[in-house]
Structure formats: C-alpha cells, structure tokens
C-alpha cells in the first residue's frame, strides 16, 4: 500500500514537470491523478499548459442560445470572462488567468467539440474576436478549481445529447456516486 502511494506521488511529480500541467510541490498534496487509457489528467494543479480556441454567441450553432451560458447566466466579457471546456476535465466554476493577460476567466459553458479534450474555448462577443484569437497554446494559472458535483447536477438532465452523456460518464467514472451527492 505504501509503495502504491509512493508511486502515485512520484507519478504526479513527473507529470507536473513533463505533461500539460505543472505544479509546485506544495500543490501536489491536493492534486488528483486520473488515468484513462494512455491519457493522464492531474486535477487541482496550480498551472496548466492548454490549447485554447475562441467562440461567440454569434456563431451559427450558438445563435439559439443567445447570450446564455450552459450554467444559466449570461456569457461574460469584461475583466471577468466566460470560458467553455469539457466539464469532466475542467469542471464548472474553475477560475483561471492566462499568463500575460489581465483578465480572469471562469468555466461556465461547454461545447460538443471540447468533450474528450483539454481545450478551453474563450468567449468573444463577435466573430472578429474569434479570428483574432485563433488557436493558441497558453499557460494558465488556476485560481479556483471548480465543482464536479455542480457540473454533474447541471449535466445529468441533459444526457439526450451524446457530448453531455460523455461528460457525465467521465465524471461518474472518476468520482462515482460522490458526483451526485458531494462537492468534489
């Protein structure tokens, strides 16, 4: 048992230095490592390197939702901005800053193209904003880890959509019944 704990801690340390995330040793104690096939995810690390894209409520596939986020509020674009992600990777309520930029982002939306990826989609109020951002690999600093329980609570009644069902199944696989009853 002690050997397994040591190997898990060693894996987290190696992943922090080699993978798409990094962390200081003080953050490793709260980090959780998940393996799925050849993919590994570290939750609660302080820093991540992620692929980012941009989206807008003006895109054809988003027009029916208007300015509403998946969480239910309005999409934000100011000092505090909306972002979308696979909620089984970056859960609802995750707050972060992009290195070198002054804005704070909060995951309050999701999109079908994001499911199964570690990509974060940044909200832009117009199509020019999407073009100007393009695709960028950036370093982000996590200010607050979101809630899988809140993600699950919203997603569980939307499983008629394949991408939502995939997020729910991934959350359940990671957290089992805890997802539906606790703040993870």
SS3 168: helix
Averaged over 134-161, what is the pLDDT?
94
The bridge status of strand 80-84 relative to strand 104-109 is parallel
SS3 112: helix
Tokens of 19: 């993978």
Question: What predicted TM-score, i.e. pTM, was given to this entire model?
Answer: 0.74
Average pLDDT, the chain: 79
The domain tally of the chain equals 2
The bridge status of strand 120-123 relative to strand 47-55 is parallel
119, 89 Cβ separation under 8 angstroms? no
* Chain segment 112-145, per-residue pLDDT in tens: 999 999 999 999 999 999 999 999 999 999 999 9
34 is in which domain, residue-wise? Answer: 1-45
Pair 90, 37 in one domain: no
- pLDDT at residue 28 above 70? no
Pair 151, 134 in one domain: yes
What single DSSP character describes residue 108?
E
What single DSSP character describes residue 174?
H
Q: Residue 147's domain is classified under what CATH number? A: 2.40.40.10
What's phi and psi for 161, nearest 5 deg? Answer: -95, 130
* Chain segment 45-66, per-residue pLDDT in tens: 788 999 999 999 877 567 567 7
């Amino acid at each position: 048992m002690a050997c397994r704990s040591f190997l898990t801690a060693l894996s987290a340390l190696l992943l922090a230095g080699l993978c798409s995330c990094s962390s200081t040793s003080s953050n490793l104690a709260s980090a959780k490592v998940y393996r799925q096939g050849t993919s590994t995810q570290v939750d609660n690390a302080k820093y991540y390197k992620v692929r980012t894209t941009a989206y807008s409520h003006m895109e054809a596939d988003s027009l029916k939702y208007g300015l509403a986020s998946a969480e239910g509020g309005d999409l934000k674009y100011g000092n505090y901005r909306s972002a979308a992600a696979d909620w089984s990777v970056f859960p609802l309520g995750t707050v972060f800053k992009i290195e070198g930029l002054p804005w704070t982002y909060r995951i309050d939306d999701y999109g079908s193209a994001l499911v199964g990826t570690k990509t974060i989609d940044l909200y832009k109020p117009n199509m020019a904003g999407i073009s100007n951002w393009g695709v960028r690999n950036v370093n982000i600093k996590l200010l607050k880890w979101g809630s899988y329980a809140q993600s699950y609570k919203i997603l569980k009644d939307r499983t008629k959509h394949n991408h939502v069902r995939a997020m729910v199944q991934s959350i359940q696989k990671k957290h089992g019944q805890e997802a539906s009853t606790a703040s993870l």
